[in-house]
């Protein structure tokens, strides 16, 4: 079979079975997920053996330590993946709910019913846990799924999909609800993103080049996730101790993730006190880069260039800019930010209201770390990424966001 037919065939199967799958009860979906969770634990040896093949060839190719860490599984990680599947199984489901229903003057009753999106395709890179996490969220939300993972993790992914398939069959359903491409040719992606007749939504997960490529070329509607150039603004009326604790946490607790802070903006009138204290806290761990005014206070740090304002470091680097007022801070964030997560530290009520109203980001924080932008922390149980677009879903993409609705209209002979 040629590549095009191969991609069409698998994707078409996901579509064909999606109607039937959308109708099964939540207890059946729960059962499938619990079976996947237990099969993952039962087959951890097999999974780790296959993962070892990927790790060995990755080492031979000399990939970075960070990427290797994302790729590598161990027993503990497999157990934790299995645990998250159980957690997703137990989330509440809104499928089939009529979120509102109203009566029109002509007697028609119109209701809005929550239904699955249909078929969700995920294109992702090296992390094999995405295979399981994405499948679990899509199954819970009644969608069928088309997975296309990176070549570095192909053996791990195949093993995980085998385990998932056997679990689905043990639960009495067709394994065709989870489609996986075992060919890693890049052309699979190019074929897949054309198939709007079979795929309802496409979610790319990975670096900016993957995501941009897909947005540029996809014929299928995309949920864009990823880039987090997050800010914390330390206001004139900030509680300096809260500010220090929050900035440290937002930068240092996990710099490689999208909700870590990248630039802080500091009000002129508290800059000296705050920055000197911050420097003492971060100096051994974080590279600081400051604007001209910052360098007057901290001459020992590097100067920041214009590029620093737009960069998502994902590293132990922090840019610092001194601003003259809240307007300045808001303008900087709305201009250079990625509309992901931005925080203000202040005790002043009018300033808080202004910041909440005027910052155009998915998550706008008052006196808390930006690190909380996360499905788990928001109380959604799990997420498939953080959306930075405005259509359909903004912020953490949870199970409820993988649904849509249809109108049901009950009449008794009405005509127009």
Contact flag: residue 307 with a second copy (CB under 8 A): no
Is 49 or 410 the residue whose CB approaches a second copy more closely?
410
Instruction: Return the SS3 of 205.
Output: strand
Q: How far is the CB of 362 from a second copy (least distance, A)?
A: 6
Q: How far is the CB of 206 from a second copy (least distance, A)?
A: 18
> If you search the block for the tokens 């203000």, which residue do you land on?
344
- The span from the CA of 266 to the CA of 277, in Å, is 13
Is 78 or 330 the residue whose CB approaches a second copy more closely?
330
> According to the 3-state scheme, what is the secondary structure of 25-41?
CHHHHHHHHHHHHHHHH
**Helix residue ranges per DSSP H, 128-204:** 129-140, 154-170, 187-192
The residue from 123, 222, 258, 323 that contacts a second copy (CB under 8 A) is: 222
- The span from the CA of 121 to the CA of 222, in Å, is 10
Contact flag: residue 349 with a second copy (CB under 8 A): no
Euclidean distance between the first and the last CA atom of the chain, given in angstroms as a whole number: 52
Instruction: Return the SS3 of 144.
Output: strand
CB neighbours of residue 246 within 10 Å: 24
The residue from 159, 177, 246, 323 that contacts a second copy (CB under 8 A) is: 246
Q: Where are the beta strands (DSSP E) in 300-351?
A: 302-303, 317-323, 341-345
Q: Which of residues 163-202 bind a second copy (CB under 8 A)?
A: 196, 200-201
Q: How far is the CB of 173 from a second copy (least distance, A)?
A: 18
Q: How far is the CB of 363 from a second copy (least distance, A)?
A: 5
How far CA 182 is from CA of 33, 136, 179, 191, 242, in Å, comes to 22, 19, 10, 14, 50
Contact flag: residue 289 with a second copy (CB under 8 A): no
Under a CB-based contact definition with an 8 Å cutoff, are residues 341 and 373 in contact?
A: yes
Residue 263 parent element (H or E): strand 261-267
Instruction: Name residue 284's beta-bridge partners.
Output: none
For residue 259, give both structure tokens.
Answer: 């909700």
Compute the radius of gyration of the chain from its Cα atoms: 24
**Contact range with a second copy by CB under 8 A, out of 31-39, 149-157, 304-312, 388-396:** 388-396
> If you search the block for the tokens 């260039």, which residue do you land on?
305
Residue 217 parent element (H or E): helix 208-217
x/- contact string, 74-113, with a second copy (CB under 8 A)?
A: ----------------------------x-x---x-x--x
> If you search the block for the tokens 């995980």, which residue do you land on?
160
Q: Where are the beta strands (DSSP E) in 16-130?
A: 98-103, 109-116, 119-124
Instruction: Return the SS3 of 386.
Output: strand
Q: How far is the CB of 380 from a second copy (least distance, A)?
A: 10
Contact flag: residue 334 with a second copy (CB under 8 A): yes
Contact flag: residue 137 with a second copy (CB under 8 A): no
Q: How far is the CB of 184 from a second copy (least distance, A)?
A: 26
Q: How far is the CB of 258 from a second copy (least distance, A)?
A: 14
**Contact range with a second copy by CB under 8 A, out of 6-14, 36-44, 241-249, 285-293:** 241-249
Q: How far is the CB of 89 from a second copy (least distance, A)?
A: 21
Pick from 219, 241, 201: which is nearest to 116 by CA?
201
Is 17 or 71 the residue whose CB approaches a second copy more closely?
17
Contact flag: residue 408 with a second copy (CB under 8 A): yes
**Contact range with a second copy by CB under 8 A, out of 32-40, 74-82, 307-315, 391-399:** 391-399
Is 49 or 356 the residue whose CB approaches a second copy more closely?
356
Is 131 or 341 the residue whose CB approaches a second copy more closely?
341
The residue from 170, 272, 372, 400 that contacts a second copy (CB under 8 A) is: 372
Is 1 or 415 the residue whose CB approaches a second copy more closely?
415
Contact flag: residue 409 with a second copy (CB under 8 A): yes
The residue from 118, 206, 337, 398 that contacts a second copy (CB under 8 A) is: 118
Name the residues that contact a second copy, by CB under 8 A. 19, 22-23, 102, 104, 108, 110, 113, 115, 117-118, 196, 200-201, 215-216, 219, 221-223, 239, 242, 245-246, 248-250, 253, 334, 356-369, 371-373, 377-379, 389-392, 394-395, 404-416
């Amino acid at each position: 079979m040629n590549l095009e037919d191969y991609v069409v065939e698998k994707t078409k199967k996901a579509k064909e079975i999606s109607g039937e799958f959308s109708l099964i009860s939540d207890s059946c979906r729960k059962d499938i997920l619990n079976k996947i969770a237990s099969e993952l634990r039962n087959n951890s040896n097999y999974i780790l053996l296959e993962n070892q093949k990927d790790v060995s060839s990755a080492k031979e190719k000399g990939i970075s330590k960070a990427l290797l860490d994302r790729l590598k599984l161990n027993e503990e990680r497999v157990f934790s993946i299995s645990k998250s599947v159980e957690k997703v199984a137990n989330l509440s489901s809104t499928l089939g709910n009529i979120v509102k229903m109203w009566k029109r003057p002509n007697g028609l009753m119109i209701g809005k019913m929550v239904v699955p999106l249909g078929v969700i395709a995920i294109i992702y890179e090296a992390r094999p846990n995405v295979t399981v996490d994405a499948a679990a969220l899509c199954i819970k939300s009644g969608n069928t799924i088309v997975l296309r993972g990176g070549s570095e993790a192909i053996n791990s992914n195949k093993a995980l999909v085998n385990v998932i398939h056997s679990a689905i069959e043990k639960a009495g359903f067709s394994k065709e609800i989870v489609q996986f491409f075992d060919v890693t040719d890049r052309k699979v992606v190019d074929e897949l993103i054309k198939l709007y007749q079979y795929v309802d939504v496409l979610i790319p997960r990975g670096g900016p080049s993957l995501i941009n490529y897909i947005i540029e070329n996809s014929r299928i509607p995309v949920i864009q996730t990823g880039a987090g150039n997050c800010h914390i603004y330390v206001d004139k009326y900030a509680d300096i101790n809260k500010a220090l604790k929050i900035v440290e946490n937002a930068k240092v607790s996990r710099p490689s993730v999208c909700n870590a802070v990248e630039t802080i903006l500091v009000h002129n009138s508290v800059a000296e006190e705050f920055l000197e204290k911050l420097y003492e806290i971060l100096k051994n761990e974080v590279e600081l880069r400051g604007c001209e005014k910052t360098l007057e206070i901290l001459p020992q740090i590097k100067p920041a260039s214009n590029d620093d304002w737009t960069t998502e470091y994902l590293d132990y680097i922090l840019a610092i800019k001194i601003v003259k007022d809240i307007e300045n801070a808001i303008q900087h964030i709305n201009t250079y930010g990625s509309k992901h997560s931005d925080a203000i530290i202040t005790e002043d009520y009018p300033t808080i209201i202004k910041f909440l109203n005027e910052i155009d980001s998915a998550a706008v924080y008052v006196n808390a770390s930006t690190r909380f932008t996360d499905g788990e922390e928001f109380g959604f149980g799990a997420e498939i990424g953080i959306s930075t677009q405005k259509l359909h879903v903004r912020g953490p993409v949870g199970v409820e966001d993988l649904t849509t609705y249809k109108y049901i209209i009950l009449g008794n002979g009405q005509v127009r």
